Structure 1
Protein backbone atom coordinates (compact mmCIF):
# COMPACT_ATOMS: atom_id res chain seq x y z
CA UNK A 1 0.00 0.00 0.00
CA UNK A 2 2.79 2.38 0.91
CA UNK A 3 4.48 1.66 -2.41
CA UNK A 4 1.26 2.45 -4.26
CA UNK A 5 0.96 5.76 -2.42
CA UNK A 6 4.57 6.61 -3.27
CA UNK A 7 3.99 5.72 -6.92
CA UNK A 8 0.85 7.86 -6.95
CA UNK A 9 2.65 10.82 -5.40
CA UNK A 10 5.48 10.40 -7.90
CA UNK A 11 3.08 10.44 -10.85
CA UNK A 12 1.37 13.54 -9.41
CA UNK A 13 4.66 15.38 -9.08
CA UNK A 14 5.62 14.47 -12.64
CA UNK A 15 2.24 15.77 -13.86
CA UNK A 16 2.69 19.05 -11.97
CA UNK A 17 6.18 19.45 -13.39
CA UNK A 18 4.86 18.84 -16.88
CA UNK A 19 2.15 21.48 -16.38
CA UNK A 20 4.54 24.06 -14.95
CA UNK A 21 6.97 23.56 -17.82
CA UNK A 22 4.35 23.98 -20.54
CA UNK A 23 5.42 26.67 -23.02
CA UNK A 24 3.82 30.14 -22.84
CA UNK A 25 1.08 30.85 -25.42
CA UNK A 26 3.30 33.26 -27.35
CA UNK A 27 6.95 33.83 -28.24
CA UNK A 28 8.78 36.71 -30.00
CA UNK A 29 7.51 35.66 -33.44
CA UNK A 30 4.28 33.78 -32.79
CA UNK A 31 1.05 34.32 -30.89
CA UNK A 32 -1.58 36.95 -30.19
CA UNK A 33 -1.48 39.73 -27.57
CA UNK A 34 -3.30 42.95 -26.73
CA UNK A 35 -1.48 46.26 -26.84
CA UNK A 36 -2.70 49.82 -26.37
CA UNK A 37 -1.46 53.29 -27.22
CA UNK A 38 -2.23 56.95 -26.85
CA UNK A 39 -4.33 58.00 -29.82
CA UNK A 40 -1.92 60.80 -30.77
CA UNK A 41 0.67 58.11 -31.64
CA UNK A 42 -1.64 56.00 -33.80
CA UNK A 43 0.03 56.51 -37.22
CA UNK A 44 3.46 55.54 -35.84
CA UNK A 45 2.16 52.52 -33.90
CA UNK A 46 0.14 51.33 -36.91
CA UNK A 47 3.19 51.35 -39.17
CA UNK A 48 5.33 49.46 -36.62
CA UNK A 49 3.02 46.62 -35.65
CA UNK A 50 1.72 46.05 -39.20
CA UNK A 51 5.29 45.80 -40.50
CA UNK A 52 6.09 43.29 -37.74
CA UNK A 53 3.04 41.20 -38.64
CA UNK A 54 4.23 41.30 -42.24
CA UNK A 55 7.61 39.86 -41.27
CA UNK A 56 6.08 37.28 -38.89
CA UNK A 57 2.69 36.13 -40.27
CA UNK A 58 1.97 34.11 -37.11
CA UNK A 59 2.18 37.23 -34.94
CA UNK A 60 -1.04 39.11 -34.23
CA UNK A 61 -1.56 42.32 -32.23
CA UNK A 62 -4.97 43.44 -31.06
CA UNK A 63 -4.46 47.21 -30.77
CA UNK A 64 -6.72 49.68 -28.97
CA UNK A 65 -6.11 53.44 -29.13
CA UNK A 66 -7.26 55.48 -26.14
CA UNK A 67 -6.52 58.75 -24.35
CA UNK A 68 -3.14 58.25 -22.67
CA UNK A 69 -4.36 57.90 -19.08
CA UNK A 70 -6.92 55.29 -20.13
CA UNK A 71 -4.31 53.43 -22.18
CA UNK A 72 -1.92 53.23 -19.24
CA UNK A 73 -4.73 52.09 -16.93
CA UNK A 74 -5.60 49.34 -19.42
CA UNK A 75 -2.04 48.04 -19.21
CA UNK A 76 -1.99 48.29 -15.40
CA UNK A 77 -5.16 46.17 -15.24
CA UNK A 78 -3.49 43.48 -17.37
CA UNK A 79 -5.87 44.05 -20.27
CA UNK A 80 -2.90 44.93 -22.48
CA UNK A 81 0.67 43.63 -22.52
CA UNK A 82 2.25 46.86 -23.81
CA UNK A 83 1.41 50.54 -23.88
CA UNK A 84 2.86 53.27 -26.11
CA UNK A 85 2.81 56.57 -24.23
CA UNK A 86 4.44 59.98 -24.06
CA UNK A 87 5.35 59.68 -20.39
CA UNK A 88 6.74 57.16 -17.97
CA UNK A 89 4.71 55.70 -15.13
CA UNK A 90 4.12 57.95 -12.13
CA UNK A 91 4.69 56.83 -8.54
CA UNK A 92 1.09 55.67 -8.03
CA UNK A 93 1.21 53.57 -11.19
CA UNK A 94 4.55 52.07 -10.24
CA UNK A 95 3.10 51.12 -6.85
CA UNK A 96 0.45 48.99 -8.58
CA UNK A 97 3.20 46.82 -10.03
CA UNK A 98 5.25 46.85 -6.84
CA UNK A 99 2.24 45.73 -4.78
CA UNK A 100 1.69 42.76 -7.09
CA UNK A 101 5.42 42.05 -7.42
CA UNK A 102 5.32 42.60 -11.16
CA UNK A 103 8.41 43.81 -12.99
CA UNK A 104 7.89 46.21 -15.85
CA UNK A 105 10.20 47.58 -18.52
CA UNK A 106 10.16 51.05 -20.05
CA UNK A 107 11.98 51.87 -23.29
CA UNK A 108 12.49 55.41 -24.59
CA UNK A 109 11.99 54.93 -28.34
CA UNK A 110 11.48 58.34 -29.96
CA UNK A 111 11.18 62.11 -29.70
CA UNK A 112 7.78 63.42 -30.71
CA UNK A 113 6.43 66.93 -31.16
CA UNK A 114 3.11 68.66 -30.57
CA UNK A 115 2.18 70.42 -33.80
CA UNK A 116 0.26 73.69 -33.54
CA UNK A 117 -2.10 73.93 -36.49
CA UNK A 118 -4.30 76.69 -37.89
CA UNK A 119 -6.57 76.80 -40.92
CA UNK A 120 -5.33 78.03 -44.27
CA UNK A 121 -7.52 81.13 -43.92
CA UNK A 122 -5.65 82.15 -40.79
CA UNK A 123 -2.62 84.23 -41.89
CA UNK A 124 -0.83 83.84 -38.54
CA UNK A 125 1.87 81.15 -38.58
CA UNK A 126 4.39 82.33 -35.98
CA UNK A 127 4.13 82.32 -32.19
CA UNK A 128 6.50 82.48 -29.22
CA UNK A 129 6.52 80.30 -26.12
CA UNK A 130 5.96 83.47 -24.08
CA UNK A 131 2.81 84.22 -26.08
CA UNK A 132 1.62 80.64 -25.67
CA UNK A 133 2.17 80.93 -21.94
CA UNK A 134 0.11 84.14 -21.86
CA UNK A 135 -2.66 82.39 -23.79
CA UNK A 136 -2.77 79.50 -21.33
CA UNK A 137 -2.69 81.91 -18.39
CA UNK A 138 -5.61 83.87 -19.82
CA UNK A 139 -3.66 87.08 -20.46
CA UNK A 140 -3.90 86.81 -24.26
CA UNK A 141 -7.40 85.98 -25.48
CA UNK A 142 -7.51 87.23 -29.08
CA UNK A 143 -5.36 86.69 -32.16
CA UNK A 144 -4.79 90.43 -32.65
CA UNK A 145 -3.01 90.55 -29.27
CA UNK A 146 -0.13 88.50 -30.70
CA UNK A 147 2.87 90.56 -31.76
CA UNK A 148 2.58 89.28 -35.33
CA UNK A 149 -1.18 88.71 -35.18
CA UNK A 150 -3.29 89.46 -38.25
CA UNK A 151 -6.26 87.18 -37.63
CA UNK A 152 -9.09 88.72 -35.61
CA UNK A 153 -11.26 87.04 -33.02
CA UNK A 154 -10.92 84.88 -29.90
CA UNK A 155 -8.25 82.20 -29.77
CA UNK A 156 -9.98 78.83 -29.37
CA UNK A 157 -7.62 76.08 -28.18
CA UNK A 158 -8.64 72.67 -29.58
CA UNK A 159 -7.49 69.32 -28.18
CA UNK A 160 -8.36 65.74 -28.93
CA UNK A 161 -9.62 64.58 -25.52
CA UNK A 162 -9.90 65.59 -21.87
CA UNK A 163 -7.46 62.82 -20.85
CA UNK A 164 -5.15 63.01 -23.85
CA UNK A 165 -1.39 63.29 -23.77
CA UNK A 166 -1.60 66.45 -25.89
CA UNK A 167 -3.73 68.30 -23.35
CA UNK A 168 -1.84 66.97 -20.33
CA UNK A 169 1.46 68.00 -21.93
CA UNK A 170 0.25 71.56 -22.58
CA UNK A 171 -1.25 72.02 -19.12
CA UNK A 172 1.95 70.80 -17.50
CA UNK A 173 4.22 72.75 -19.86
CA UNK A 174 2.46 76.04 -19.13
CA UNK A 175 1.60 75.27 -15.48
CA UNK A 176 -2.12 75.83 -15.95
CA UNK A 177 -4.10 75.83 -12.71
CA UNK A 178 -7.34 77.48 -13.81
CA UNK A 179 -9.01 76.34 -17.04
CA UNK A 180 -11.84 78.83 -16.63
CA UNK A 181 -9.61 81.65 -17.85
CA UNK A 182 -9.03 80.17 -21.32
CA UNK A 183 -11.29 79.27 -24.22
CA UNK A 184 -10.62 75.55 -24.67
CA UNK A 185 -12.51 72.94 -26.66
CA UNK A 186 -12.03 69.16 -26.81
CA UNK A 187 -13.22 66.72 -29.47
CA UNK A 188 -12.64 62.96 -29.68
CA UNK A 189 -9.52 62.43 -31.80
CA UNK A 190 -6.60 64.10 -33.55
CA UNK A 191 -8.54 63.74 -36.82
CA UNK A 192 -11.42 65.70 -35.37
CA UNK A 193 -9.03 68.43 -34.19
CA UNK A 194 -7.85 68.79 -37.78
CA UNK A 195 -11.41 68.90 -39.11
CA UNK A 196 -12.46 71.48 -36.54
CA UNK A 197 -9.46 73.73 -37.27
CA UNK A 198 -10.16 73.62 -41.01
CA UNK A 199 -13.68 74.92 -40.46
CA UNK A 200 -12.92 77.50 -37.76
CA UNK A 201 -10.45 80.31 -38.64
CA UNK A 202 -9.94 81.33 -34.99
CA UNK A 203 -9.08 77.80 -33.80
CA UNK A 204 -5.58 76.78 -32.68
CA UNK A 205 -5.27 73.00 -32.75
CA UNK A 206 -2.82 70.74 -30.91
CA UNK A 207 -2.04 67.34 -32.48
CA UNK A 208 0.68 64.69 -32.51
CA UNK A 209 2.94 65.58 -35.42
CA UNK A 210 2.99 62.03 -36.82
CA UNK A 211 -0.60 62.54 -38.00
CA UNK A 212 0.60 64.88 -40.76
CA UNK A 213 4.32 64.19 -41.15
CA UNK A 214 4.54 60.95 -43.17
CA UNK A 215 4.99 62.24 -46.70
CA UNK A 216 4.24 58.83 -48.24
CA UNK A 217 0.99 58.29 -46.36
CA UNK A 218 -2.21 59.14 -48.28
CA UNK A 219 -3.95 59.77 -44.95
CA UNK A 220 -1.27 62.23 -43.81
CA UNK A 221 -1.41 63.99 -47.17
CA UNK A 222 -5.19 64.28 -46.95
CA UNK A 223 -5.15 65.51 -43.35
CA UNK A 224 -2.50 68.13 -44.16
CA UNK A 225 -4.66 69.87 -46.74
CA UNK A 226 -5.69 73.44 -45.96
CA UNK A 227 -3.64 73.60 -42.79
CA UNK A 228 -0.71 75.69 -41.60
CA UNK A 229 1.76 74.33 -39.05
CA UNK A 230 2.88 77.19 -36.82
CA UNK A 231 6.51 77.99 -36.16
CA UNK A 232 7.34 78.32 -32.45
CA UNK A 233 10.20 80.30 -30.88
CA UNK A 234 11.65 79.93 -27.40
CA UNK A 235 12.99 83.46 -27.72
CA UNK A 236 10.51 85.94 -26.25
CA UNK A 237 11.71 88.62 -28.70
CA UNK A 238 12.89 86.81 -31.83
CA UNK A 239 14.87 88.85 -34.34
CA UNK A 240 13.87 87.00 -37.49
CA UNK A 241 11.86 84.13 -38.91
CA UNK A 242 14.95 81.95 -38.46
CA UNK A 243 14.27 81.96 -34.71
CA UNK A 244 11.03 80.02 -35.24
CA UNK A 245 10.93 76.25 -35.66
CA UNK A 246 8.33 73.76 -36.82
CA UNK A 247 8.14 70.16 -35.54
CA UNK A 248 10.19 68.77 -38.41
CA UNK A 249 12.17 65.63 -37.71
CA UNK A 250 15.55 67.39 -37.72
CA UNK A 251 14.31 70.03 -35.29
CA UNK A 252 13.10 67.29 -32.94
CA UNK A 253 16.45 65.52 -33.13
CA UNK A 254 18.44 68.71 -32.55
CA UNK A 255 16.07 69.62 -29.68
CA UNK A 256 15.37 73.07 -31.05
CA UNK A 257 11.61 72.69 -31.43
CA UNK A 258 10.22 73.76 -28.03
CA UNK A 259 7.10 71.57 -27.83
CA UNK A 260 8.81 68.19 -27.99
CA UNK A 261 8.31 65.15 -25.77
CA UNK A 262 9.56 61.60 -25.35
CA UNK A 263 7.78 58.48 -26.51
CA UNK A 264 7.99 55.26 -24.48
CA UNK A 265 6.84 51.69 -24.84
CA UNK A 266 6.11 50.15 -21.45
CA UNK A 267 5.80 46.38 -21.03
CA UNK A 268 4.51 44.17 -18.24
CA UNK A 269 5.43 40.99 -20.10
CA UNK A 270 6.80 38.37 -17.73
CA UNK A 271 8.46 36.16 -20.34
CA UNK A 272 10.24 36.52 -23.65
CA UNK A 273 7.07 36.78 -25.68
CA UNK A 274 5.55 38.65 -28.58
CA UNK A 275 5.80 41.95 -26.73
CA UNK A 276 9.55 41.51 -26.29
CA UNK A 277 9.86 40.67 -29.95
CA UNK A 278 8.11 43.90 -30.96
CA UNK A 279 10.24 46.01 -28.61
CA UNK A 280 13.46 44.46 -29.93
CA UNK A 281 12.22 45.15 -33.46
CA UNK A 282 11.81 48.81 -32.53
CA UNK A 283 15.13 49.37 -30.74
CA UNK A 284 17.42 46.94 -32.56
CA UNK A 285 15.91 46.41 -35.98
CA UNK A 286 14.17 48.44 -38.68
CA UNK A 287 11.62 49.80 -36.21
CA UNK A 288 13.81 52.90 -35.96
CA UNK A 289 13.42 53.41 -39.70
CA UNK A 290 9.63 53.22 -39.37
CA UNK A 291 9.70 55.79 -36.56
CA UNK A 292 11.83 58.02 -38.76
CA UNK A 293 9.37 57.60 -41.65
CA UNK A 294 6.56 58.68 -39.32
CA UNK A 295 8.31 62.03 -38.90
CA UNK A 296 9.57 61.43 -35.36
CA UNK A 297 13.17 61.17 -34.20
CA UNK A 298 14.10 57.58 -33.24
CA UNK A 299 16.17 57.10 -30.09
CA UNK A 300 18.20 54.48 -31.93
CA UNK A 301 18.24 55.29 -35.64
CA UNK A 302 18.33 52.38 -38.05
CA UNK A 303 21.84 52.02 -39.41
CA UNK A 304 21.83 51.82 -43.18
CA UNK A 305 25.11 50.63 -44.59
CA UNK A 306 26.20 51.90 -47.98
CA UNK A 307 28.97 50.10 -49.85
CA UNK A 308 30.82 52.06 -52.52
CA UNK A 309 32.61 50.03 -55.11
CA UNK A 310 35.27 51.62 -57.26
CA UNK A 311 35.52 50.06 -60.67
CA UNK A 312 38.61 50.47 -62.78
CA UNK A 313 38.13 50.84 -66.50
Structure 2
Protein backbone atom coordinates (compact mmCIF):
# COMPACT_ATOMS: atom_id res chain seq x y z
CA UNK A 1 0.00 0.00 0.00
CA UNK A 2 1.26 3.51 -0.84
CA UNK A 3 0.35 6.36 1.49
CA UNK A 4 0.09 9.99 0.32
CA UNK A 5 -0.12 13.35 2.03
CA UNK A 6 -2.88 15.39 0.38
CA UNK A 7 -2.19 15.71 -3.35
CA UNK A 8 1.52 16.46 -3.12
CA UNK A 9 2.57 12.93 -4.04
CA UNK A 10 4.92 12.72 -1.05
CA UNK A 11 5.06 9.45 0.82
CA UNK A 12 3.72 9.54 4.37
CA UNK A 13 6.29 9.95 7.11
CA UNK A 14 6.77 7.51 9.97
CA UNK A 15 4.96 8.14 13.26
CA UNK A 16 5.92 7.43 16.89
CA UNK A 17 4.09 4.10 16.62
CA UNK A 18 4.98 2.82 13.17
CA UNK A 19 7.60 2.94 10.44
CA UNK A 20 11.24 2.01 10.00
CA UNK A 21 14.27 4.18 10.77
CA UNK A 22 18.02 3.67 11.03
CA UNK A 23 19.83 4.27 14.30
CA UNK A 24 23.59 4.63 14.77
CA UNK A 25 25.18 3.84 18.12
CA UNK A 26 28.60 3.65 19.65
CA UNK A 27 29.39 -0.05 20.07
CA UNK A 28 30.02 0.35 23.81
CA UNK A 29 26.26 0.90 24.24
CA UNK A 30 25.14 -2.15 22.28
CA UNK A 31 23.44 -4.04 25.17
CA UNK A 32 21.62 -0.85 26.22
CA UNK A 33 20.44 0.00 22.71
CA UNK A 34 19.32 -3.56 22.00
CA UNK A 35 17.20 -3.73 25.13
CA UNK A 36 15.63 -0.30 24.66
CA UNK A 37 14.71 -0.81 21.01
CA UNK A 38 13.42 -4.35 21.68
CA UNK A 39 11.20 -3.08 24.49
CA UNK A 40 9.82 -0.31 22.27
CA UNK A 41 9.09 -2.68 19.38
CA UNK A 42 7.34 -4.96 21.86
CA UNK A 43 4.88 -2.15 22.57
CA UNK A 44 4.58 -1.01 18.94
CA UNK A 45 4.84 -4.04 16.60
CA UNK A 46 4.74 -1.78 13.53
CA UNK A 47 7.86 0.10 14.65
CA UNK A 48 11.20 -1.16 13.35
CA UNK A 49 14.78 -0.03 13.95
CA UNK A 50 17.80 -0.80 11.79
CA UNK A 51 20.67 -0.37 14.24
CA UNK A 52 24.26 0.03 13.05
CA UNK A 53 27.10 -0.03 15.57
CA UNK A 54 30.20 2.05 14.91
CA UNK A 55 32.93 3.85 16.88
CA UNK A 56 31.58 7.08 18.38
CA UNK A 57 33.02 9.47 15.80
CA UNK A 58 31.74 7.36 12.90
CA UNK A 59 28.32 6.91 14.49
CA UNK A 60 27.86 10.67 14.83
CA UNK A 61 29.12 11.24 11.27
CA UNK A 62 26.54 8.73 10.05
CA UNK A 63 23.77 10.77 11.66
CA UNK A 64 25.15 14.04 10.29
CA UNK A 65 25.18 12.57 6.77
CA UNK A 66 21.51 11.65 7.18
CA UNK A 67 22.31 7.94 6.97
CA UNK A 68 20.80 7.55 10.45
CA UNK A 69 17.92 9.37 12.12
CA UNK A 70 19.25 9.22 15.68
CA UNK A 71 22.51 8.30 17.38
CA UNK A 72 23.40 6.99 20.85
CA UNK A 73 26.63 8.49 22.10
CA UNK A 74 28.61 9.38 25.22
CA UNK A 75 28.75 13.09 24.45
CA UNK A 76 26.81 15.99 23.04
CA UNK A 77 27.58 17.39 19.61
CA UNK A 78 30.60 19.64 19.22
CA UNK A 79 30.19 23.17 17.90
CA UNK A 80 31.31 22.14 14.41
CA UNK A 81 28.85 19.22 14.41
CA UNK A 82 25.99 21.53 15.45
CA UNK A 83 26.97 23.93 12.67
CA UNK A 84 26.76 21.04 10.19
CA UNK A 85 23.13 20.52 11.20
CA UNK A 86 22.40 24.26 11.22
CA UNK A 87 23.63 24.56 7.65
CA UNK A 88 21.00 22.02 6.66
CA UNK A 89 18.40 23.96 8.68
CA UNK A 90 17.97 21.02 11.03
CA UNK A 91 17.33 21.97 14.64
CA UNK A 92 18.31 18.63 16.16
CA UNK A 93 17.47 17.38 19.63
CA UNK A 94 19.73 16.06 22.37
CA UNK A 95 18.50 14.16 25.42
CA UNK A 96 20.63 12.79 28.23
CA UNK A 97 19.02 9.48 29.12
CA UNK A 98 21.35 7.81 31.63
CA UNK A 99 24.62 7.74 33.53
CA UNK A 100 26.95 5.00 32.39
CA UNK A 101 30.53 4.24 33.33
CA UNK A 102 33.76 3.12 31.73
CA UNK A 103 34.67 -0.07 33.58
CA UNK A 104 38.29 -1.07 34.14
CA UNK A 105 38.66 -4.84 33.94
CA UNK A 106 41.52 -7.24 34.58
CA UNK A 107 41.96 -10.99 34.38
CA UNK A 108 41.31 -13.02 37.52
CA UNK A 109 44.85 -14.26 37.04
CA UNK A 110 45.89 -10.73 37.93
CA UNK A 111 45.84 -10.36 41.70
CA UNK A 112 45.17 -6.61 41.56
CA UNK A 113 41.61 -5.29 41.65
CA UNK A 114 42.14 -1.83 43.18
CA UNK A 115 43.61 1.28 41.58
CA UNK A 116 43.67 4.99 42.37
CA UNK A 117 42.74 7.89 40.13
CA UNK A 118 46.31 9.29 40.23
CA UNK A 119 47.61 5.88 39.14
CA UNK A 120 45.20 5.76 36.19
CA UNK A 121 46.29 9.27 35.29
CA UNK A 122 49.90 8.11 35.45
CA UNK A 123 49.11 5.32 32.97
CA UNK A 124 47.66 7.84 30.51
CA UNK A 125 50.44 10.39 30.86
CA UNK A 126 53.24 7.83 30.53
CA UNK A 127 54.47 8.36 34.09
CA UNK A 128 53.50 4.79 34.99
CA UNK A 129 54.33 1.99 32.57
CA UNK A 130 54.92 -1.01 34.88
CA UNK A 131 52.61 -2.76 37.34
CA UNK A 132 55.24 -2.63 40.07
CA UNK A 133 55.09 1.18 39.97
CA UNK A 134 51.61 1.04 41.52
CA UNK A 135 51.22 0.80 45.28
CA UNK A 136 50.51 -2.69 46.58
CA UNK A 137 50.56 -4.30 43.14
CA UNK A 138 51.14 -8.06 43.01
CA UNK A 139 51.49 -8.06 39.22
CA UNK A 140 54.74 -7.25 37.43
CA UNK A 141 55.70 -6.28 33.91
CA UNK A 142 54.42 -3.61 31.50
CA UNK A 143 50.80 -2.45 31.67
CA UNK A 144 48.81 -2.68 28.42
CA UNK A 145 45.68 -0.52 28.10
CA UNK A 146 43.12 -2.25 25.87
CA UNK A 147 40.28 -0.47 24.05
CA UNK A 148 37.62 -1.50 21.57
CA UNK A 149 38.60 0.97 18.85
CA UNK A 150 40.84 3.97 18.35
CA UNK A 151 37.75 6.16 17.71
CA UNK A 152 35.55 4.70 20.43
CA UNK A 153 33.74 6.61 23.15
CA UNK A 154 35.66 4.65 25.78
CA UNK A 155 39.05 5.83 24.53
CA UNK A 156 37.81 9.34 23.74
CA UNK A 157 36.43 9.65 27.27
CA UNK A 158 39.63 8.55 28.99
CA UNK A 159 41.89 10.75 26.85
CA UNK A 160 39.67 13.76 27.46
CA UNK A 161 39.45 12.96 31.17
CA UNK A 162 43.21 13.39 31.49
CA UNK A 163 43.70 16.00 28.74
CA UNK A 164 45.85 13.62 26.69
CA UNK A 165 46.54 14.63 23.08
CA UNK A 166 49.66 12.57 22.36
CA UNK A 167 49.38 8.80 22.85
CA UNK A 168 52.81 7.92 21.48
CA UNK A 169 54.20 7.24 24.98
CA UNK A 170 51.23 5.11 26.10
CA UNK A 171 51.05 1.34 25.70
CA UNK A 172 47.58 1.21 24.08
CA UNK A 173 46.24 -1.80 22.20
CA UNK A 174 42.94 -1.63 20.27
CA UNK A 175 40.73 -4.46 19.06
CA UNK A 176 37.34 -4.32 17.28
CA UNK A 177 34.65 -4.51 19.96
CA UNK A 178 33.96 -4.44 23.69
CA UNK A 179 33.57 -8.22 23.58
CA UNK A 180 37.06 -8.55 22.09
CA UNK A 181 38.44 -6.36 24.88
CA UNK A 182 36.98 -8.85 27.37
CA UNK A 183 38.44 -11.83 25.53
CA UNK A 184 41.88 -10.23 25.30
CA UNK A 185 42.01 -9.23 28.97
CA UNK A 186 40.83 -12.67 30.08
CA UNK A 187 43.97 -14.26 28.62
CA UNK A 188 46.48 -11.43 29.26
CA UNK A 189 46.99 -10.80 33.00
CA UNK A 190 49.14 -7.71 32.40
CA UNK A 191 46.34 -5.88 30.55
CA UNK A 192 43.69 -3.46 31.78
CA UNK A 193 40.59 -3.34 29.58
CA UNK A 194 38.21 -0.41 29.23
CA UNK A 195 34.60 -1.25 28.33
CA UNK A 196 31.13 0.24 28.63
CA UNK A 197 29.77 -1.03 31.94
CA UNK A 198 26.39 -1.95 30.39
CA UNK A 199 28.14 -4.99 28.86
CA UNK A 200 28.54 -6.57 32.31
CA UNK A 201 26.10 -4.77 34.64
CA UNK A 202 22.86 -6.70 34.08
CA UNK A 203 22.91 -9.54 36.59
CA UNK A 204 19.92 -11.24 34.92
CA UNK A 205 21.39 -11.23 31.43
CA UNK A 206 23.27 -14.39 30.29
CA UNK A 207 25.63 -12.23 28.21
CA UNK A 208 26.76 -10.35 31.32
CA UNK A 209 27.43 -13.61 33.15
CA UNK A 210 29.34 -14.99 30.18
CA UNK A 211 31.51 -11.91 29.76
CA UNK A 212 32.17 -11.48 33.49
CA UNK A 213 33.60 -14.98 33.82
CA UNK A 214 37.28 -14.98 34.83
CA UNK A 215 37.35 -11.18 35.12
CA UNK A 216 37.68 -8.65 37.91
CA UNK A 217 36.07 -5.20 37.73
CA UNK A 218 38.54 -2.83 39.32
CA UNK A 219 37.59 -0.56 42.16
CA UNK A 220 38.82 3.02 41.70
CA UNK A 221 39.55 5.56 44.45
CA UNK A 222 39.85 9.27 43.78
CA UNK A 223 42.26 9.51 46.71
CA UNK A 224 45.98 9.12 46.16
CA UNK A 225 46.41 7.22 49.44
CA UNK A 226 43.14 5.50 50.38
CA UNK A 227 43.11 3.87 53.81
CA UNK A 228 40.33 1.30 53.33
CA UNK A 229 38.49 -0.67 50.64
CA UNK A 230 35.47 1.49 51.36
CA UNK A 231 37.21 4.35 49.54
CA UNK A 232 37.21 2.40 46.25
CA UNK A 233 34.16 2.33 44.00
CA UNK A 234 33.06 0.19 41.07
CA UNK A 235 30.98 1.39 38.07
CA UNK A 236 27.67 -0.08 39.16
CA UNK A 237 24.28 1.50 39.65
CA UNK A 238 24.49 2.86 43.18
CA UNK A 239 27.91 4.45 42.79
CA UNK A 240 27.03 5.83 39.35
CA UNK A 241 23.91 7.50 40.77
CA UNK A 242 25.66 8.79 43.89
CA UNK A 243 28.55 10.04 41.70
CA UNK A 244 31.13 8.06 43.66
CA UNK A 245 32.68 6.29 40.69
CA UNK A 246 35.23 8.59 38.97
CA UNK A 247 34.78 7.37 35.38
CA UNK A 248 31.06 7.96 34.96
CA UNK A 249 29.66 9.60 31.86
CA UNK A 250 26.36 10.57 30.32
CA UNK A 251 24.53 8.57 27.68
CA UNK A 252 22.90 10.79 25.06
CA UNK A 253 20.45 10.18 22.26
CA UNK A 254 20.71 12.79 19.50
CA UNK A 255 18.05 13.16 16.82
CA UNK A 256 17.94 15.02 13.53
CA UNK A 257 14.26 14.21 13.09
CA UNK A 258 12.30 17.08 11.51
CA UNK A 259 8.81 15.75 12.26
CA UNK A 260 7.05 13.95 15.14
CA UNK A 261 8.21 10.51 14.09
CA UNK A 262 9.60 7.22 15.32
CA UNK A 263 12.82 8.74 16.63
CA UNK A 264 10.91 11.17 18.83
CA UNK A 265 8.69 8.37 20.05
CA UNK A 266 11.73 6.35 21.11
CA UNK A 267 13.27 9.35 22.89
CA UNK A 268 10.06 10.06 24.79
CA UNK A 269 9.75 6.41 25.77
CA UNK A 270 13.32 6.34 27.10
CA UNK A 271 13.42 9.72 28.82
CA UNK A 272 9.88 10.12 30.10
CA UNK A 273 8.28 6.70 30.13
CA UNK A 274 8.98 3.11 31.11
CA UNK A 275 12.30 3.14 29.26
CA UNK A 276 13.82 4.23 32.57
CA UNK A 277 12.90 0.80 33.97
CA UNK A 278 14.93 -0.86 31.20
CA UNK A 279 17.89 1.39 32.06
CA UNK A 280 17.57 0.53 35.76
CA UNK A 281 17.39 -3.20 35.04
CA UNK A 282 20.55 -2.93 32.98
CA UNK A 283 22.36 -1.57 36.03
CA UNK A 284 22.73 2.03 34.86
CA UNK A 285 21.27 5.20 36.37
CA UNK A 286 18.37 6.78 34.43
CA UNK A 287 18.41 10.55 34.13
CA UNK A 288 14.66 10.69 34.85
CA UNK A 289 13.63 7.79 37.11
CA UNK A 290 10.36 6.10 36.23
CA UNK A 291 7.58 7.34 38.50
CA UNK A 292 6.04 4.30 40.14
CA UNK A 293 2.88 4.92 42.14
CA UNK A 294 1.95 2.50 44.89
CA UNK A 295 -1.59 2.40 46.28
CA UNK A 296 -2.17 0.83 49.68
CA UNK A 297 -5.65 -0.38 50.55
CA UNK A 298 -6.63 -0.57 54.20
TM-score class, shorter: over 0.9
Match of 1:243 in 2: 231
Aligned equivalent of 2:222, options 216, 234, 240: 234
Deviation, 1:177, is 2.7
Structure 1, unaligned runs of 5 or more = 1-14
**Aligned 8 A contact 2:148 2:174 in 1:** yes
The structural deviation recorded for 1:41 is 0.5
Q: Partners in 2 of 1:279 and 1:233 — Cα distance?
A: 34
Q: Deviations over 1:54-111 (max 9, x none)?
A: 1111000000011000000000000000000000000110110111111100001100
Residue 56 (structure 2) aligned to one of 68, 93, 113: 68
Counterpart of 1:276 in structure 2 is 264
Cα distance, 1:307 vs structure 2: 2.3
Gaps of 5+ in 2: none
Mapped partners of 1:166, 1:194: distance in 2: 14
Cα distance in 2 between the residues matched to 1:198 and 1:286: 36
Which is further off, 173-182 or 107-116?
A: 173-182
Determine the structure 1 residue equivalent to 2:295. Answer: 307
For normalisation by structure 1, the TM-score amounts to 0.92
Q: Is the 8 A contact 1:36 1:65 kept in 2?
A: yes
User: In the TM superposition, what are the counterparts of 1:20-39 in structure 2 within 5 Å?
Assistant: 24-39=12-27
Q: Distance in 1 between matches of 2:165 and 2:257?
A: 37
Structural mapping, 1:30-69, within 5 Å: 30-69=18-57
Partner of 2:210: 222
Q: 1:181 aligns to what SS in structure 2?
A: coil
**Which structure has more helix as a fraction of its residues?**
1
In structure 2, the residue matched to 1:158 is: 146
Determine helix, strand or coil for the equivalent of 2:7.
helix
Mark the structure with the bigger radius of gyration: 1
Of residues 163, 184, 207 in structure 2, which corresponds to 1:175?
A: 163
Q: What CA distance in whole angstroms lies between the structure 2 residues aligned with 1:189 and 1:309?
A: 51
Name the SS of the counterpart of 2:158 in structure 1: helix
Alpha-carbon separation, structure 1, partners of 2:87 and 2:28? 30
1:147 and 2:147 are equivalent in the alignment? no
Q: CA deviation at 1:265?
A: 0.3
Please report the RMSD computed on the Cα atoms of aligned residues, expressed in angstroms. Answer: 1.4
Equivalences for residues 122-133 of structure 1 within 5 A: 122-133=110-121
SS in 1 for 2:226: coil
Q: Provide the aligned length of Structure 1 versus Structure 2.
A: 295
Q: Which residue of 2 aligns with 1:9?
A: none
2:16 matched to 1:19? Answer: no
SS in 1 for 2:216: strand
Determine the C-alpha separation between the residues in 2 that align with 1:140 and 1:97: 42
Kept in 2: contact 1:33–1:61 (CA 8 A): yes
Q: For 1:204-231, what per-residue CA distance to the aligned partner results, in whole angstroms no more than 9, with x for missing partners?
A: 0000000000111111110010000000
